[in-house]
Structure 1
């Protein structure tokens, strides 16, 4: 059975391809996305609580770290000035520039602890906003690598009571997306966006700290703030993957050779540009691996390395990107809110924004032990079985 190198990682990448439809280029930080207008409200993820309200300065304090929540029009320097911090250091800690204008409700992680607001101070009214969250979920988990903790020069005070359970603080690694991170922690992308004030295109950057939404019903940890000696680092919250590793993705070995004779060869009697289905076959070949929701979100179609890969229908190139193993992924947007995804390809001949016609060559099959194209159809957030569209 064909499989991608690093199959689990690729699967998560392709599960989140609706986000990649706005990527449009191989930007490592994925910041310059467009808006395709898809909604993630139907994401099947665990319910989460709302993010706590910050104090009057815009700070949310947890036992092991603090974050500041940006107000409308805030720059990193504005937050630093409000809290008596060095703007350059705060910016560097969050992979930003002091002059970067932040989204309303965007979370900025503090490099060290500041004094808690006086008891009884009114919470700030800043919110993460209620913009409609567009598009879909790659994942691998970069563990938070917090810098050392020290106390700011402001008047010392007793730490404020924790505002609910302390969320995991995730530092975005290269190649990760908001959707992959949401999938990794089993939360909705919408909740992740609301907790962190992400823009409508859901872009994140390498080195950015994200708060992972707390599951609803989770008892607040009776945590006592960890006390560290001067010069010592603060303890890093243990990610779920450390306590309970994700299960290995094993494919049982076949006890007998697989009979490929029964696999439908949809390309035998028609070309990629023809056929009566909504979509044409991207290559002519047998279905090596069928669609299984959540396991294989598309079909793998047999084809020799170097075979031209055709556009399944007329549309626009919405994304050309790569996963963490540098395997190209191409996404086309079609009428009716449909996306088609092409993976295990190489030699891409189009660029983001190009209009393509049905049957136009857009790439070629990537060389490998088993030649095939991974093909998906996505409708908004969800992957759907491509076969009804091809037959």
Structure 2
């Protein structure tokens, strides 16, 4: 058993974790250690071989692996960052400020001055979808199907139906089609798509793949291998409408039914959002425990990996500041107003910029997003075609902010 006292420990070496390490290292702490359970850093980016990454962070379009390599090359410039792979966090003693990590090297007890959680998100599993029928082989989450095709050079099947029109599902519809799999349809239970408009256009319309809105799977059938999937239209209460069933002869069902923040390890000592299941943080990335920071999809599910890296860098910076001098400013609530469904972060801390991320509760053709702190109007702008599936990012500089709680609302 080895014991190590360090300045900043980062759990997870994806886009957020690597960004956090960079942010901490730039603040000049002596040592930053990243522990990653996979056999290499980069996280989910390693299997996302499509382009569309980096437009905000690097100002150019990159594939997932290219984006990961760019971030890793920046990390390599800092001698005070140590990236350790195949490391498994066994336990966190938040009272003693100890993180117990297991690896092939044995057990290591880290005693960091501050901790950054960057554990990402996991896919909603089949058990969470509650589809009637049998349970044959041939049912995959979108991430598993993506890994099979992009990293392992294996096709999941020959004829597929995809449930969920989130970005991963849309991208996999295109990817499977390009690899010779016949994608018969994408099914979405909501009356509007779950992914970005550009992905609807590039991944479905360009390949003539039908999208069934307000539909869901009502039956999965097969013996050893999937043979048939039945879908039906939904009414306004999301109940199947009798007589609207459609049958598809397929051997593969791909589930793209959402991501869940990977926060289970921390639920006993950090505040977790009851709706999103993400770790609740402030504008600095600080959690409900003053020495623990968090960033990336373990806090809220972002639309862009660029935003994930940005928020990781911010969390790492302020984690390093806490490690150096116990930095802990005044904190004020950031509250949801009219028509706001998801809002992040939950607190504003003095001395920081405020990067707001929000999703509306319902589609709004024309709405005005307003941000107020007491009687001070911080932001007011008209937005067109607001959708719950598309996250809005608003940046408010520290110079505009003062003391007091903040209200965010969307007016129709």
TM-score after normalising by structure 2: 0.21
Query: 1 or 2 for the larger relative contact order (CA 8 Å, sep ≥6)?
Result: 1
Q: Which has the higher helix share?
A: 2
Determine which structure has more spread, i.e. the larger CA radius of gyration: 1
Q: Which has the higher strand share?
A: 2
